[in-house]
């Protein structure tokens, strides 16, 4: 209780440094949460793209469908392959465009037989497309490689930028904690000397400063979560109607895990920052 009381007194006494530290950590946690949620949504979109992305291989009239199916099914990059005869293709097209049926009666069925493939990873679209083009009996291959590669590049870029920001923001938060604890140590220099002279242990002297760092991290995490969770819900509310075709992350358990990790990270930064400050600036005092 003594250590807790001293830590709270230090936070109040050095309120300028404390507020600055808390503000820095809140900003850092909010940005980190934003990038984490953006990455989660990009991963969800990539999973949707993975499940819906298809390659279509158009066959020549002399192609052996059974041989092609057996060959392609053995490829590890392909999750599924379906044979679509031209009769079924023209029927499906006629359901969407009834006028096609009338044209077919006049000129016949101009569509070729085709194979529809799904890949296990959008990054493998170009690889599968190249392998298809080298097979005998395939005249043309259509794929969404440009869309897939663009989306993968965006996702990877966001992850790289997010990693850099995590390092920069956590470092700035760590230094803010170190400076705040250093100010508290300086302000209590005489009190620390008195405690040392009367035989106080190192742990007794250090405990208030460790708790102060923990409190700064705790306050920052609580305020950040109050901003992050309603903010994300607001963004979902505004985007749900405009981006109905995108699978926005709404999994409550997943959001709890993300916010829980951020909460733990804030506490860890607070404790580590105070420990660093103590080891650097309290050594000479005790």
Rounded-to-integer distance, Cα 194 and Cα 243, Å: 64
Closest C-alpha among 166, 172, 168, 165 to residue 20: 172
Q: Sheet of 138-142: strands edge to edge? A: 78-84, 114-119, 55-59, 138-142
pTM: 0.62
The per-residue pLDDT for 7 is 67
Rounded-to-integer distance, Cα 219 and Cα 221, Å: 5
Question: Which domains, from first to last, does the chain contain?
Answer: 2-49+149-281 (no CATH), 54-143 (3.30.70.3040)
| pLDDT < 70 stretches in the chain | 1-4, 6-7, 10-11, 13, 47, 49-52, 92-110, 144-148, 200, 240-247, 280-286
Contact 109, 85 (CB under 8 A): no
**31-67 burial string, b = 16+ CB within 10 Å, else e?**
bbbbbbbbbbbbebbbeebbeebbbbbbbeeebeeee
Rounded-to-integer distance, Cα 122 and Cα 52, Å: 10
The per-residue pLDDT for 285 is 47
- β-partners of residue 56 are 116, 142
The per-residue pLDDT for 280 is 67
The per-residue pLDDT for 286 is 45
The per-residue pLDDT for 106 is 53
Closest C-alpha among 57, 60, 61, 81 to residue 69: 81
CB atoms within 10 A of CB 116: 14
Rounded-to-integer distance, Cα 259 and Cα 229, Å: 8
pLDDT tens digit string along 25-40? Answer: 888 888 888 888 877 8
Rounded-to-integer distance, Cα 63 and Cα 201, Å: 86
Contact 269, 174 (CB under 8 A): yes
Contact 23, 235 (CB under 8 A): no
242-247 contacts at long range (C-beta below 8 A, 24 or more positions apart): 246/41, 246/45, 246/48, 247/41, 247/44, 247/45, 247/47, 247/48
Helices (H), the chain: 2-13, 15-52, 65-73, 86-96, 99-107, 125-133, 145-187, 189-197, 202-240, 252-281
Rounded-to-integer distance, Cα 30 and Cα 223, Å: 10
- β-partners of residue 80 are 118
pLDDT tens digit string along 178-223? Answer: 777 777 777 777 777 777 777 767 777 777 777 877 888 888 888 8
The per-residue pLDDT for 77 is 86
């Amino acid at each position: 209780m003594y250590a807790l009381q001293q830590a709270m007194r230090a936070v109040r006494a050095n309120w300028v440094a404390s507020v600055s530290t808390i503000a820095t950590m809140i900003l850092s946690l909010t940005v980190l949460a934003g990038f984490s949620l953006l990455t989660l949504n990009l991963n969800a979109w990539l999973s949707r793209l993975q499940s819906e992305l298809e390659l279509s291989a158009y066959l020549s009239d002399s192609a052996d469908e059974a041989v092609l199916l057996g060959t392609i099914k053995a490829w590890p990059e392909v999750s599924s392959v379906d044979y679509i005869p031209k009769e079924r293709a023209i029927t499906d097209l006629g359901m969407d465009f009834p006028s096609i049926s009338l044209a077919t009666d006049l000129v016949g069925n101009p569509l070729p037989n085709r194979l529809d493939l799904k890949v296990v990873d959008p990054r493998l679209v170009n690889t599968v497309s190249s392998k298809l083009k080298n097979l005998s009996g395939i005249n043309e291959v259509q794929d969404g490689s440009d869309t897939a590669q663009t989306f993968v590049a965006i996702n990877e870029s966001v992850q790289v930028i997010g990693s850099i920001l995590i390092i920069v923001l956590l470092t700035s938060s760590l230094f803010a904690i170190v400076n705040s604890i250093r100010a508290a140590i300086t302000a209590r220099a005489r009190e620390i000397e008195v405690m040392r002279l009367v035989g106080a242990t190192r742990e007794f002297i250090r405990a208030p400063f460790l708790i102060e760092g923990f409190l700064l991290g705790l306050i920052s995490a609580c305020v950040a979560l109050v901003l992050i969770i309603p903010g994300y819900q607001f963004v979902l509310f505004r985007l749900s109607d405009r981006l109905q075709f995108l699978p926005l992350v709404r999994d409550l358990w997943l959001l709890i895990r993300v916010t829980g990790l951020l909460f733990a990270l804030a506490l860890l930064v607070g404790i580590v920052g105070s420990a660093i400050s103590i080891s650097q600036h309290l050594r000479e005092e005790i």
